Amino acid sequence: MTQSVVVQVGQCGNQVGCRFWDLALREHAHVNKKGVYDEALSSFFQNVDSRRSDGRACGVGGRIQHLKARAVLVDMEEGVVNEILQGPLREVFDSTQLLTDVSGSGNNWAVGHMTYGSAYKEQIVDKLRKAAEHCDCLQCFFLIHSMGGGTGSGLGTRVLSLLEEEFPEVCRIVTSIYPSAEDDVITSPYNSVLAMRELTEHADCVLPVENQSLVEIVNKIKHMSHGAKPGAAIRRDSTVISGQGGLSGAEKPFDAMNNIVANLLLNMTSSARFEGSLNMDLNEIAMNLVPFPRLHYLVPSLTPLYTLADVSVPTRRLDQMFSDAFSKEHQLIRADPKHSLYLACALMVRGNVQVSDLRRNIERLKPSLPFVSWNQEGWKTGLCSVPPVGHSHSLLALANNTCVKPTFMELRERFTRLYRKKAHLHHYLNVEGMEQSFFSEAITSLSSLIEEYHHLDATKLKLMPDAPRLCIAT
The per-residue pLDDT for 467 is 46
Interacting residues of 376 by C-beta distance below 8 A, sequence separation 6+: none
Name the percent of the chain lying above pLDDT 90: 70
What Å distances lie between residue 347 and 202, 282, 386, 419, CA to CA? 25, 13, 15, 40
Long-range contacts of 101-105 (CB under 8 A, 24+ apart): 101/75, 101/76, 101/77, 102/77, 102/78, 103/76, 103/77, 104/76, 104/77, 104/150, 104/151, 105/76, 105/149, 105/150, 105/151, 105/154, 105/155
CA dist., res. 355 & res. 379, Å (int):
13
What Å distances lie between residue 471 and 466, 468, 474, CA to CA? 15, 9, 9
Average pLDDT over residues 152-160: 98
Whether this prediction's pTM lies above 0.75 is answered by yes
Helix, strand and coil percent figures for the chain, each rounded to 5: 45, 20, 35
Q: Is the pLDDT of residue 452 over 90?
A: yes
Alpha helix (H) residue ranges in 32-94: 39-42, 79-86
Residue 252 φ/ψ, nearest 5 degrees: -105, 165
Q: Give the model confidence (pLDDT) of 240-269 as tens digits.
A: 554 443 444 446 668 889 999 999 999 999
Name the 3-class secondary structure at 73.
Answer: strand
What Å distances lie between residue 5 and 69, 99, 441, CA to CA? 8, 16, 31
Average pLDDT over residues 122-132: 97
The per-residue pLDDT for 44 is 95
Of 83-92, 252-261, 318-327, 391-400, minimum mean pLDDT range: 252-261
Q: Is the pLDDT of residue 423 over 60?
A: yes
Give 137: exposed, middle or buried? Use CB within 10 Å, 0-12, 13-18, 19+: exposed
The per-residue pLDDT for 272 is 87
What is the β-pairing status of strands 379-384 and 66-69?
Answer: unpaired
Q: Give the model confidence (pLDDT) of 199-244 as tens digits.
A: 999 999 999 999 999 999 988 888 776 665 444 445 555 555 544 4
Alpha helix (H) residue ranges in 331-460: 355-365, 405-419, 425-429, 437-460
Count CA atoms within 13 Å of residue 430 on its CB side.
Answer: 5
Torsion of CA 291, 297, 299, 300, to 10 degrees: 100
Of 61-65, 265-269, 329-333, 427-431, minimum mean pLDDT range: 61-65
